[in-house]
Amino acid sequence: MNFIKELRRGLGLRASTVIVLVALALTVSTLLTTVGAFDGQPQTAPSTIPEPSEHANDPEANLPFLFAVYMITWGAFFAYIFYVSRRQREMQGEIVALKRALDQREQAEAQSQSES
Per CB under 8 A, residues contacting another protein are: 2-3, 5-6, 9-11, 15, 18-19, 22-23, 26-27, 30-46, 48-53, 58-63, 65-66, 68-70, 72-73, 76-77, 80-81, 84-85, 87-88, 91-92, 94-95, 98-99, 101-103, 105-106
Three-state SS letters, the chain = CHHHHHHHHHHCHHHHHHHHHHHHHHHHHHHHHHHHHHHCCCCCCCCCCCCCCCCCCCCCCCHHHHHHHHHHHHHHHHHHHHHHHHHHHHHHHHHHHHHHHHHHHHHHHHHHHHHC
Provide, rounded to whole angstroms, the least separation between the CB of residue 116 and another protein.
22
Provide, rounded to whole angstroms, the least separation between the CB of residue 19 and another protein.
6
